[in-house]
Amino acid sequence: MDESGVEHELRVIGHGESWALTGPAEARFTLVNEYLSYLSDRRYSPRTVRAYAFDLLHFCRWLIDSDVALDAVTTETLLHFLGECRDAVLPGQFGGNVVDLRSGRSAGYAPATVNRRMAAISGMFTFRAMRDPSAHNPVPRGAMSRRTAKGERSGMLGHLARPRSRSQLRVREPRRLPRGLKRQEIQDLLASLRSDRDRAMAGLMLFSGLRSAEVLGLAISDVDIARGWIRVIGKGDKERRVPLDPDVAGLVQAYLLVERPETTENKLFVVAKGPHRGQPLSAEGLRRLFRYHREKSGVLAGHPHSLRHSFGTALAEAGVDLAVMQALMGHDHVDSAAAYIHLSPAHVRRSYDEARARQRQVGQ
C-alpha cells in the first residue's frame, strides 16, 4: 500500500543493492527488473539503484493509469509523462499558474527530480536497445557532449574524448551554489550532539569533507589515528586518502574505547542501543539523528551535506588550489570544486586586490 492506504498493482521491494518491482502487474514490466539487476551488476551505487527503482515505479504506475504498455511507449508518450511530472500538484502545493515565492517555481516536482526520472527511463530503454538492436528507442537524442574517460570536461586532450549523445528529455535546472553553515550555526549544531560517535561523524564531514554515505561506509581499518589519515571509498568505488583532524581523531578513539558496543561488524559506526545494537548505522538512522538535532539546536539548515559544504567553503576561503580541493572532496569535475569559490567573498576580494595591484604596477 502507499501512504494513502491504496493497494497498487505495483510496488518496490528490496534492500541494499537489490531492488525490484513486484505485484500483480510485475509480469508487464520485466524489463524494469532486468535493468535494475543490470545496474547492480555494474556496481552502481545502492542509493542510485534505489532511486531509479522508485522513479521507474512512478513511470510504470503512470503507464498503468494511462493504459499504455511498456512496449508501446513512444516519444510522444515520454513527452506527455514529462509534462505530467512538471505540472503535477503535490501535497502542500498550489496548482495552476501559482508560483511559490520561496522556490520561485510553480507546482510540480523539482527539476532535478524530473531529470533523474527521465534519466532512469532513458537508461532503461538504452539497456533494451543494447540487448536488442532492432528494438526502437523512444528517447530522442539531443546535442553531442564531450567527456574524457575520467569525466573531465576540459583539458589539452579534451578534443580526443568520444562525443556522447544527450537526451532531450530534460528540463532546465536552476544552478544552485552549495550552502555552508555560518560559524554560529556550526557551534549550535555541534553543541547539541551528546555522544562521541555523533561528534566524530559530524567532525568527519566538517573537517575532512566526507559525504554522509562515505562516513557510514568507513571500516575501522580505514581510519589511521596514529598517522592522521582516512581511507575513503567515494562515489563509483573511487578511493582517496584525506587528512584526519587531530580533535576528530580523539573523538574516534574515545568512541572506539568507551562507547562502541561489542560486535563482529567491521564498520566504524554502529547503532549504540536498541534492538539493532551493534549493527552498522543506516542512512535512515543518520537522517533521523540529524533531524532530531536540527530541531533541538534550531539550525534548520544543519543537514549532513551542509557540514561538507562548510568544509569546501573553508578551503576556498583559505585559497586552496582547485586541484587540491577536488582531490580532498572526491569530486569528479573541477567545476564542482570551483563552485565553492563563488561562495567565498574573501577569496574573491583577495583575487580582486591582487589583480588591482598588478594593474597598478603596469600603470606606473
Give the chain's length. 364
Instruction: Copy the grid coordinates of residue 145.
Output: 557532449
Closest C-alpha among 46, 64, 289 to residue 189? 289
CA 270 to chain centre: 22
Q: Measured between alpha carbons, how far is 220 from 252 in angstroms, rounded to an integer?
A: 10
Q: DSSP string spanning 187-213?
A: HHHHHH--SHHHHHHHHHHHHH---HH
d(CA 142, CA 139): 10
Please check whether residue 93 is in contact with residue 70, taking contact to mean a CB–CB distance below 8 angstroms: no
Q: What is the dihedral of CA 151, 155, 160, 161, to 10 degrees?
A: 20
- Calpha distance 304→299 (Å, rounded): 12
Pairing of strands 223-224, 229-233: antiparallel
Alpha-helix residue ranges (DSSP H) falling in the chain = 30-41, 46-66, 75-87, 111-131, 183-192, 196-208, 212-217, 246-254, 283-297, 304-317, 322-329, 334-338, 345-363
Nearest to 299 by CA among 289, 288, 290: 290
The catalytic site residues sit at: 211, 235, 305, 308, 331, 340
List the grid coordinates of 226. 596514529
CA angle 327, 335, 175 (to 5 degrees): 135
If you search the block for the grid coordinates 556522447, which residue do you land on? 164
Give the closest residue to 229 by CA, choosing from 216, 218, 238: 218
**What whole-number distance in Å separates Cα of residue 87 and Cα of residue 128?**
29
